[in-house]
Structure 1
Amino acid sequence: MKIYPSILTIAGSDCSGGAGIQADIKTISALGAYAASAITAITVQNTLGVTGIHPVPPEYVKGQIEAVMTDIRPRAVKIGMINDVKIVEVIADAIQKFRPRFVVFDPVMVSTSGCKLIEDDAITALTTRLMPLATLITPNLSEAQVLTGITVNDRQSMQAAAQELLKLGNQAVLVKGGHLEGGRMYDLLQVRNESEPHLFAADKVNSSNTHGTGCTLSSAIATYLALGNPLVTAVEKAKQYVWQGILTGKDVHIGEGHGPLNHFHSPQAMHIFTGNE
């Protein structure tokens, strides 16, 4: 019997297609796995920003997760935007009940355009209920700072924040350094019971098309884990996938703000119109 490696993404919907559930499904599919989804919120947004967030009722979030878990039984779960305490509790209860092999949690708090995406009281619920259940959490610099109170602006403070976040009970932390100053980008992975972190470096790509990069990275990591890769390898492959997506999508014009990266790197995967076509 043939079985698709399957991943469940639990996140918000982005009607413009660049982030959230839509970016997750594109990523998982592009990497050769099967994507199932549970939508936590419907957002009104485009490349210019977010103008509205409507949470899905918790019982419907619960129903979506249980429908997937009891039938498809995904090997990995990626969790993205959650802005409601009750939804945090529903997801945590489901993770504890079904115990997927891998849980990758991207604590989305602020959009690329700077819009706040989470209620203040939900942050406490995230740290006490969800993060202890995660294989990996993937905060960016500002999210790591909010979660720890540490000013995170270099590799030393990234490691300090990662070590502090491990105290929440999760197995590993990837602090994303895409907003560090300079021409090189550094992400730092700290794994529980390992004294030294793993550092991933890449040249920065000069592009405004970075909408959905965090969603894409966390989904790619979850996918590579589901495909059987060790954590460090999964992060390394996911980082390369995102970098190539930014590089090959940097000159594509979609919308008037922060456009999406190119989830399909192959020239045959997406036709790019030029001129007045």
Structure 2
Amino acid sequence: MAQQRIPVVMTFAGNDPTGGAGIQADIETIASMGCHAAPVVTALTVQDTRNVISFDEVAATLVIEQARAVLEDMPVAAFKLGMLGSIENIEAIHTLLTDYPQVPVVLDPIIAAGGGTGLSDTAMREAMVSLLFPLTTILTPNSQEARRFASEADTLDACGQELLSMGCDFVLITGAHENSPHVENRFYGSMRHLETFTWERLPHSYHGSGCTLASSIAGLLAQGVEPFVAVHEAQEYTWESLKHGYRLGMGQHHPNRLFWARGEEEA
């Protein structure tokens, strides 16, 4: 009997020594989706559960060498992009992605850490828009990021339309930062608002929730799930991982991305 091939998801992200966000978050999530993670480190961060203290980007040549070595050895079914570290890395990843136009791309356009430390500047954001957005299958900004990228828009719906006009196939704007009784995540495609997903607002702040959402979407796309269903199922998984989260340090809670591995009695 032939062995079933496990889909490979390549993730570009920074290393978070708390294990809450970045590469470890992506690996746990991608494995939870039934895929194999191929992690490419783009930055080394110094951070705790409250904020990023500092970071140093990995040289673009080394980022691409990491990726090319894997891509020449195994088939990659989806790309997930998180913290990219520098304009040079954005330019290098753009060149890489153009060689694999058939592979879906999920981009979490990170601007700042949960604690507020900036992780990209204006030039990096402009590079993302011009080089990566046109190659992106699903963009997953939170509402604050959406407003920064679509600065001329006066509503979140207008933000969604403007982000689509920048070249993304689909946009999912998450609403946890909004002052609303429930979390409303808004999904856009085909130059229109497709759906608003409403979720119970949980009581805590979570470290790595955006990484979890984007990586779960990428894992589902790698499995061949169509975008609308992937976005819905990824939100369900992310919400459950937050609901089962735990507080290890003095700052944000960690999502429990392996909640599904516990027995019913334990859960």
Shared fold, TM over 0.5: yes
Alignment of 1:28-67 (within 5 A): 28-67=30-69
**Residues 91-118 of structure 1: CA distance to partner in whole angstroms, max 9, x if unpaired?**
0000001335210000001111111111
Equivalenced residue count is 262
**Residues 174-204 of structure 1: CA distance to partner in whole angstroms, max 9, x if unpaired?**
11111111221111110125x3421111110
Alignment of 1:1-277 (within 5 A): 1=2, 2-150=4-152, 157-193=155-191, 195-208=192-205, 210-249=206-245, 252-266=246-260, 268=262
Q: Give distance in 1, aligned partners of 2:163 and 2:111.
A: 16
Check the 8 A contact 2:247/2:254 in 1, yes or no: no
Shift of 1:68: 1.6
**Residues 103-148 of structure 1: CA distance to partner in whole angstroms, max 9, x if unpaired?**
0000001111111111321111100001100001111111111111
Q: CA RMSD in A?
A: 1.5
In structure 2, runs of 5+ residues without a counterpart are: none
Shift of 1:9: 0.4
In structure 1, runs of 5+ residues without a counterpart are: 273-277
Shift of 1:267: 5.9
Q: Give distance in 2, aligned partners of 1:31 and 1:52.
A: 31
Query: Aligned residues: percent identity?
Result: 33
**Residues 239-277 of structure 1: CA distance to partner in whole angstroms, max 9, x if unpaired?**
00011011111xx230110121110113627xx9xxxxx
Q: Secondary structure at the match of 1:35?
A: strand
Q: Give distance in 2, aligned partners of 1:3 and 1:27.
A: 18
Check the 8 A contact 2:58/2:85 in 1, yes or no: no
Q: Give distance in 2, aligned partners of 1:253 and 1:148.
A: 34
Shift of 1:71: 1.3
Amino acid aligned to 1:263? R
Please report the TM-score for the alignment, with normalisation by the length of structure 2. 0.94
Q: Give distance in 2, aligned partners of 1:150 and 1:258.
A: 32
Amino acid aligned to 2:115? S
Check the 8 A contact 1:83/1:119 in 2, yes or no: no
Check the 8 A contact 1:185/1:202 in 2, yes or no: yes
Amino acid aligned to 2:49? T
Q: Secondary structure at the match of 1:266?
A: helix
Check the 8 A contact 1:172/1:191 in 2, yes or no: yes
Q: Give distance in 2, aligned partners of 1:132 and 1:142.
A: 21
Q: Give distance in 1, aligned partners of 2:51 and 2:183.
A: 24
Check the 8 A contact 1:159/1:197 in 2, yes or no: no
Check the 8 A contact 2:20/2:208 in 1, yes or no: yes
Q: For the structure 1 residues 70 and 99, does the alpha-carbon distance in structure 2 shift closer, same or farther, using more than 3 Å as the test?
A: farther
Amino acid aligned to 1:226? A
Q: Secondary structure at the match of 2:199?
A: strand
